[in-house]
A and B are shown apart, each in its own frame.
Chain A
């Protein structure tokens, strides 16, 4: 029993830790910029890690569906994309709140904000495509193909383009490492919260997606019986 849900307990514990110690941990002064808003690092940044992870899982199931067309794989692909989309929207909202205090307004057309908005539009189009096809087998196949294509179009730009352009986000000028973080600004204490936060949020995302998948499977069972 414990074999299957230890990671759910882990997710819960890690997020409790994030939501309490994240507000207590000592943060660096950073010459007055950032101030207390830097604590949003434990909430805003893990959203993107989680979104990226869920979209990768979604595209893996899309590939598996094309290789071996089982309807279950399509459900997996769909629900992971859906949950990823929710985390992407949460990432935009937490980012907008942070930007409102830090940059003066919630949206300033920063390359990374634009990239995130494009990502969300692409996945919204995925749901429009699904809605427009009525035949189930065809819908699964078309959306799997679009999922793979969109993923391959989107993520090179999200990972490469921000490194080539100026941005309000820290880091990422030229080849200077991660495009979203400035490692000089984080202390070891902060990383002690940041890494558990990433793992906790990703596990929560997977948990939500698996719940939705179970719900879909039950629904299909009921429908097939009726």
Chain B
């Protein structure tokens, strides 16, 4: 019994790795998402730079998370929209819903990690570096971008099944993401000064719980979306 379980696990992890590899391969061949979003970030930050110069700490923080939100919408939206109906059917026959959504979650998380790093670099380059604890902010940025990518991956899966896809994703996603963005804004304030914030770890823990909750919900709910 245990052997069968282990075998099934290794089989499904192989499938997930293959699916992630496929997404990475598509991305490196086309390089559409990556450069598209990169250009998007650079021009957004440049507009901010032109209109406000180097903003104060709080504005810097708020702008960072807003840019991050739009990056997530743009980068993740493509993940389900690029697969045509016929190709989805093909994945359906060779793999399961669970492996497919896990592969998408992993790929989008990796993509968003890269994007958040680049966003941070462009921010520091153009808008100055008000951060006292740079690496702390980087880690919070990673945590936040993973959370954003998870939420929008799942919403993209819903939107892909409805008609008006990209617009619908924004409509569904923005209210849902607000609590997490509020938390992230509060947590990342800590990286701007040496001041001690009460309940900081509580909020970080809450964010972690959110990420785990989203993964669990995706695993449970995605098979219902997949069925057609």
Contact = CB atoms under 8 A, between A and B. Distances in A.
> Do A and B truly interact?
yes
Report the contact-size class of chain B (Cβ under 8 Å from the partner): 20 to 34
Contacts of B172: 125, 128-129, 146, 150
Given A129-B168, A132-B164, A148 B221 contact: yes
B47 interface: no
Interface stretch (B74-82, B89-97, B174-182): B174-182
Contacts, number: 85
Interface in A136-160: 138, 141-142, 144-146, 148-150, 152-154, 156-157, 160
Given A128-B171, A141-B224, A153 B202 contact: no
Interface in B132-184: 151, 154-155, 158, 161-164, 168, 171-172, 174-176, 178-179, 182-183
A139 to B, nearest CB: 8
A141 B203 contact: no
Nearest to A122: B175
Contacts of B228: 138
B86 interface: no
A128 B179 CA distance: 20
A66 interface: yes
Q: Is the interface of A mostly helix, strand, loop or mixed?
A: helix
Interface of B: 151, 154-155, 158, 161-164, 168, 171-172, 174-176, 178-179, 182-183, 199, 202-203, 206, 209-210, 213-214, 217, 221, 224-225, 227-228
Interface of A: 66, 115, 118, 121-122, 124-125, 128-129, 132-134, 138, 141-142, 144-146, 148-150, 152-154, 156-157, 160-161, 164
The list of the 7 closest CB pairs from A to B, nearest first, reads A157-B179, A121-B175, A122-B175, A125-B172, A133-B162, A153-B176, A145-B221
